[in-house]
Amino acid sequence: MKAIVMTRTGGPEVIEFVERSDPMPGPGEALVKIAVAGVNFMDIGVRRGTAWRETPDPKILGVEGVGRVLAVGQGVDDIQRGQRVAWVYSPGSYAEKAVIPAAALVTVPDEIDDRTAAAVMMQGLTASHFATDFYPVQSGDIALVHAAAGGLGLLLTQIIKLRGGHVIGRVSSRSKIAVAKEAGADDIIIDTEGRFADEAIRLSGGEGVHVVYDGSGPKTFQGSLDALRISGTFCWYGPVLGGPGPIDIMTLPKSIKIGYPTFYDHIHTPELFRARSARLFDWLIEGNLKIRIGGEYPLADAAKAHADMERRVTTGKLLLIP
């Protein structure tokens, strides 16, 4: 099979399109023929060496996708050959085939096509964790969403709107405004320098926002703190772009709450994973959640997908087609 491996840590140039032998499913696993693989910012983190350092190179990148089950290993009885399945956080997904634990698979309803299902897994499960668990948005809440035209930002915006919230989206360029607005963002701030807090406070009627969703690196951290109202919540989630460094808890202002949620804690059992995925699929089928595919690349062009995402020129979800 063909696969995308990283040969060492570094820029997109460390990515290679190679031939690998087909994997075999062991007990509790399924062999899947991949139809679509999702590109996530975390894949860039892996490539840069901020994650998966314990796995030796060359390793196959990618954690998410959709495909058809070709075979199952011993003891797998809830997933059958021929079923269309999706997964999230299963290493080795930038490939034509992958072996995935059966407990990490969900079956995809017929109403949802492969591209939509692949696009909703990581970013959709993350967005639903952030807006329904970590900070359950209430009707009337004002949320500041960073990178609002990105894959995660667009889904987060829609889920906040579904819950009756008001969204102030921060994007890096004018070209992203229409995309963020189409997802439901009420107001947009254009900024790349961390100078958005005053405008967010003004847009929230002078009090600041109830919640800020920030995965945009150290540059935005102080502005996000400043934009919060009294007792506001800071949802920080950007390890790839980097953190603010050590924080003295006594410097935190306005009785705010701050935390680093990871999507996996939302789906840490197979039951939760299937229930949360089913809720996303329902939202898609009912038309409450819309997916924007920002780019489709042949599997061989994974390096280009990474480079485009890092240049901040993409919107929505990027997909690789084996």
Ligand X SMILES: NC(=O)c1ccc[n+]([C@@H]2O[C@H](COP(=O)([O-])OP(=O)(O)OC[C@H]3O[C@@H](n4cnc5c(N)ncnc54)[C@H](OP(=O)(O)O)[C@@H]3O)[C@@H](O)[C@H]2O)c1
State the nearest-atom distance from the C-beta of 259 to ligand X, in Å. Answer: 10
Tell me how crowded residue 111 is: count the other CB atoms within 10 A of its CB. Answer: 9
- CB 163 to ligand X: min, Å: 19
Query: In this complex, which beta carbon is closest to ligand X, that of residue 151 or of residue 223?
Result: 151
Residue nearest to ligand X (CB): 150
Q: Contact at 8 Å (CB) between 192 and 170?
A: no
Q: Quick one: 93 or 126, whose CB is closer to ligand X?
A: 126
Judged by beta carbon, residue 210 or residue 266, the one nearer ligand X is 266
Between 222 and 262, CB nearer to ligand X: 262
Provide, rounded to whole angstroms, the least separation between the CB of residue 131 and ligand X: 13
End-to-end CA distance of the chain: 10
The CB-of-43 to ligand X minimum distance in angstroms stands at: 8
Between 137 and 241, name the residue whose CB sits nearer to ligand X. Answer: 241
Complex with ligand X: residue 32 or 63, whichever CB lies closer: 63
Shortest reach from residue 189's CB to ligand X, in Å: 10
Residues that bind ligand X (CB under 6 A): 40-42, 122-123, 126, 147, 149-153, 171-172, 176, 215-217, 237-238, 240-241, 262-263, 309-310, 312
CB 258 within 8 A of CB 252: yes
CA distance 308 to 108: 29
CB closer to ligand X out of 102 and 128: 128
Burial class (CB in 10 A: 0-12, 13-18, 19+), 25: buried
Beta bridge partner(s), residue 19: 2
Residue 140 corresponds to which tokens in the numbers above? 């009337």
- Whether 289 contacts 280, CB under 8 Å: yes
Half-sphere exposure at residue 65, Cβ-oriented, CA atoms within 13 angstroms: 29
- Please state the closest distance from residue 150 (CB atom) to ligand X, in A: 2
Q: In whole angstroms, how far apart are CA 73 and each of 31, 90, 93, 205, 212? A: 8, 17, 19, 58, 44
Residue 179 CB, nearest approach to ligand X (Å) = 9
- How far is Cα 220 from Cα 212, in angstroms, rounded to an integer? 11
Q: Which is nearer to ligand X, 105 or 185 (CB)?
A: 185
Min dist CB 41 to ligand X, Å, is 3
